[in-house]
Structure 1
């Protein structure tokens, strides 16, 4: 690389694209030399970008492709270890996407499954943590697609993913299986009320060493300029080393009734009662069937750029698809009662597998109760065969006037 760069004027280089490996980023047993070589490429990219910021520099840390060095024997070994390989067409599209000018300042990217991380060893000590985060609208472009009464508002589902992701990072090898008793005290609005910083307090409440389980109490709060404490969200997160197998949704019904014929983007921002969400949280493709007790829909979330996801990237728990999964209740409520609602709390959220993106998934929403001020429902996110990705039980929506969703004059 140094010899090649010595043959040209660096100031004239418009693109420098280096093909590195996930091994350089994550490491791998028995590949220290290979890992070091690829990490040198990564660091070279950062150094070159510092010297020549006008150049589009990127070191792509590739996972294994379904070709080349990935022999049939190696492919079997990857499958045994739970490592996905990259289809040729998908990898090509990813490369083209990384060369787009919007990624000009992204110097290193990892594409592909990471090497499996050994679970962190557990002990019986219960710890507490405090994490501080400064939130800005500029750092989170997706918030322009979640505007209520003229102000960008943090979706409740992103608050859940925030708390869950931080818990996971404390214990590599563990995943957030559930979030219970989620409550919204005062949402985070990106206007003059935005705090200088937000504090996430985590308290380990219990550990089960035999079942590799850790439970946390999580609270997000801030202080006003006068020093008053404002609580925003709270929940209890359970981490597991081994996620249970995905159950089957036994009430699966994908028979179309053609009662609601609206499709795709026509559900969104087309009138007072339409869903207010922008592109980052779309889209509900179609209503398959609807009754006074239940609504079943097909959804499709097209992945948005990581830069747009900002400080709330979609990892194991995806705040964007979770938000999308609650849209059917809005459609049901307006269809039968000409009302709309916003999330208030939930009893339990459980995740068995990642909700897919860039391909269809299905939501079966069972309405449990309805009053003048609230509605409660269970949401089951599943594939076409009924295999459940996640389930949100006891989700409570607070009923509001439709005019609340309209932009301020």
Structure 2
């Protein structure tokens, strides 16, 4: 219910990523997912009563090169309808993270305003964007923090990926697109995800969204997650956020519904 577009809940892309990654790790128990490539939403899952009764997750055998297992994952309904897909990279441990600058003290603006203004549609359990540190036409630095809420007892989370905290990364990338496009934006693809460490549960982290490039129907943004010391925790490259004329109205509708519910 906290990931509702309009009046209906929608399965988050970050949750689908978690399902694919966790299943790969349970299949290859000595390895963990350290990256993803070519993540895509082919047909989203809207929980409006018409959603499929069963989803199927398929992993191929993959190939091994240089200590990294590369395999392909896809989520389908029935035998033919694709919903999500990605290439997963597994190894015994993550690569060495690149370095970034340590945080500098700053006040910034109230980040929760993006939810009140319906720039984003997310409810309280997903509202992790707490402060806008820097806002520029093609760059956003956001300070975030959120208590991680397990989905299905943790069944949608991998060693280095939380579906809830990962969704916050996509939110920051999307809201930069919203401000650039002056329209609602929804993330439907990610070119690459590099996971160096998990995002901390309930502790502050920053997301730097930059490298914004207009695309057909939206924008592409790169989002880098850091801790206060400047250590890079994750990098989400080429987040493809799509804008359609009706999205802004659906975001506002979701906010209005929560307001009526007293949330």
TM-score, normalised via structure 1 length: 0.57
8 Å contact kept, 2:138–2:176: no
For the pair 1:262 / 2:113, whether they are aligned, the reply is: no
The aligned counterpart of 2:227 is 383
How far apart in 2 are the matches of 1:253 and 1:349? 23
Give how far 1:256 is off. Answer: 4.3
Query: Does 2:158 match 1:303?
Result: no
The aligned length equals 253
| 1:115-194 pair list within 5 angstroms | 144-194=1-51
1:231 and 2:82 equivalent? yes
| Corresponding residue of 1:290 | 135
- For 1:272-293, what per-residue CA distance to the aligned partner results, in whole angstroms no more than 9, with x for missing partners? x332111221221101112122
Query: Bigger radius of gyration, 1 or 2?
Result: 1
- Cα gap change, 1:375/1:255 in structure 2, threshold over 3 Å: closer, same or farther? farther
User: 2:63, 2:70 within 8 Å by CA — same for their partners in 1?
Assistant: yes
Deviations 1:52-72 (A, max 9, x none): xxxxxxxxxxxxxxxxxxxxx
Structure with higher strand content: 2
Q: Say if 2:33 and 2:158, in contact at 8 Å, map to a contact too.
A: no
CA distance in 2, matches of 1:307, 1:284: 20
Unaligned runs of 5+ residues in structure 1 are: 1-143
Secondary structure of 1:326's match?
helix
Q: Which residue of 2 aligns with 1:220?
A: 75
Three-state SS of the structure 2 residue aligned to 1:347 is strand
Larger relative contact order (C-alpha < 8 A, sep ≥ 6)?
Answer: 2
Give, in angstroms, the shift of residue 313 of structure 1. 4.2
Q: Secondary structure at the match of 1:340?
A: coil
On the 8 A contact 1:255/1:289 being kept in 2, the answer is no
Native 8 Å contact 2:219 2:242 kept in 1: yes
Q: Show CA shifts across 1:16-58 (max 9, x none).
A: xxxxxxxxxxxxxxxxxxxxxxxxxxxxxxxxxxxxxxxxxxx
CA contact (8 A) 1:205 1:216 kept: yes
**Greater share of helix:** 1
TM-score when normalising by structure 2: 0.87
- 1:254–1:296 Cα contact (<8 Å) kept: no
1:385 deviates by 2.4
| Deviation, structure 1 residue 197 | 1.1
Q: Give me the whole-angstrom Cα distance separating, in 2, the residues matched to 1:373 and 1:150.
A: 24
Q: 1:236 offset after TM fit, Å?
A: 0.4
Written as runs of structure 1 = structure 2, the 5 A alignment for 1:2-401 is 144-208=1-65, 211-223=66-78, 229-249=80-100, 254=104, 256=106, 258=108, 261-264=109-112, 266-268=113-115, 270-271=116-117, 273-304=118-149, 306=150, 311-313=155-157, 315-371=159-215, 373-401=217-245
**C-alpha separation between the residues in 2 aligned to 1:382 and 1:234?**
27
Q: RMSD over aligned Cα, in angstroms?
A: 2.4
